[in-house]
């Protein structure tokens, strides 16, 4: 994005700090369900929840050597977890974390836009009623036409943005997907119950 057009709230969503924060929560939830179904020790999930953290600068340095962002992230978080880190990122693949994290970032962004859109709709409705009888010239083919009211013009905008809200809601539903199925998506190394659990916790579809 061009910096001067950035919205600060949205810009923060797309920082490395927030991306790795989301990845960490996904990884923690994976470990919780794996411990619940007996794949990894319960102490491992507790330690991962308690100690998992990251440092963006350290990850960037590691990535220069690994040439792989997820491996660099795992190495960095594992350092903070310690002994139980062997159960961190257990049974999953990079895309499980990247794709699910990306869905969350898209959803976080869309929800901000949705809140702003609802405010716009509220204002359009109130002003269209206020100016219900405020006359103005209508335009057709770029030139003056029949007279209308400013309220009518705003009312047409209101209805268009109501349709836009429906489109946005559909888009949010489409992108809100949790995908945790292991290498090449076979679920061979990760139980499907893990995906359902993480999806429910993060309010995503599975």
pLDDT in tens, 73-128: 999 999 999 999 999 999 999 999 999 999 999 999 999 999 999 999 999 999 99
Instruction: List helix spans (H) across the chain.
Output: 8-13, 16-36, 42-51, 56-66, 69-81, 94-130, 150-175, 192-202
Query: For residue 165, what pLDDT band results from cuts at 50, 70 and 90?
Result: very high
Question: Which of 20, 26, 46 shows the shortest CA–CA distance to 194?
Answer: 26
Give 4 or 48, the one with higher predicted confidence. 48
Give the pLDDT score at 5: 84
Distance CA 173, CA 90 (A): 28
Question: Which of 168, 171, 169, 179 shows the shortest CA–CA distance to 204?
Answer: 179
Give the pLDDT score at 2: 76
Share of the chain above pLDDT 90, in %: 95
75 in Cβ contact with 62 (< 8 Å)? yes
Q: 57 pLDDT exceeds 90?
A: yes
Q: 138 pLDDT exceeds 90?
A: yes
Q: Give the tens place of pLDDT for each residue, 182-192.
A: 999 999 999 99
DSSP 91: T
Give the pLDDT score at 59: 98
Task: Read off the pTM.
Answer: 0.91
End-to-end CA distance of the chain: 30
Helix axes 16-36, 42-51, angle to 10 degrees: 160
Average pLDDT of the residues of the chain: 96
Residue 64 sits at the vertex; the CA angle it makes with 19 and 76, to the nearest 5 degrees, is: 50
Give the pLDDT score at 7: 87
58 in Cβ contact with 86 (< 8 Å)? no
164 in Cβ contact with 117 (< 8 Å)? yes
Mean pLDDT of 8-15: 94
Q: 134 pLDDT exceeds 70?
A: yes
Could you count the other beta carbons within 10 Å of the beta carbon of residue 178? 25
Give the pLDDT score at 1: 65
Question: Which of 5, 8, 37 shows the shortest CA–CA distance to 190?
Answer: 37
Q: 145 pLDDT exceeds 90?
A: yes
Give the pLDDT score at 69: 95
Q: Which residues pair with 144 in a beta bridge?
A: 139
Q: What is the CA radius of gyration of the chain?
A: 24
């Amino acid at each position: 994005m061009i910096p001067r057009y950035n919205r600060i709230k949205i810009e923060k969503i797309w920082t490395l700090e927030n991306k790795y924060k989301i990845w960490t929560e996904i990884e923690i939830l994976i470990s919780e369900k794996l411990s619940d179904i007996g794949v990894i020790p319960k102490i491992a999930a507790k330690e991962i929840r308690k100690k998992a953290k990251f440092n963006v600068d350290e990850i960037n340095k590691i990535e220069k050597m690994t040439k792989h962002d997820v491996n660099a992230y795992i190495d960095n978080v594992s350092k903070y977890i310690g002994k139980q880190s062997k159960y961190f990122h257990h049974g999953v693949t990079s895309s499980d974390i990247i794709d699910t994290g990306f869905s969350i970032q898209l959803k976080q962004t869309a929800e901000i836009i949705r809140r702003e859109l609802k405010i716009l709709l509220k204002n359009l409705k109130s002003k269209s009623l206020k100016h219900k009888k405020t006359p103005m010239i209508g335009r057709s083919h770029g030139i003056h036409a029949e007279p209308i009211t400013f309220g009518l013009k705003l009312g047409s905008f209101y209805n268009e943005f109501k349709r836009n809200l429906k489109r946005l809601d559909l888009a949010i539903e489409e992108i809100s997907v949790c995908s945790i199925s292991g290498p090449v998506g076979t679920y061979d190394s990760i139980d499907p119950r893990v995906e359902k659990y993480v999806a429910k916790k993060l309010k995503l579809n599975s």
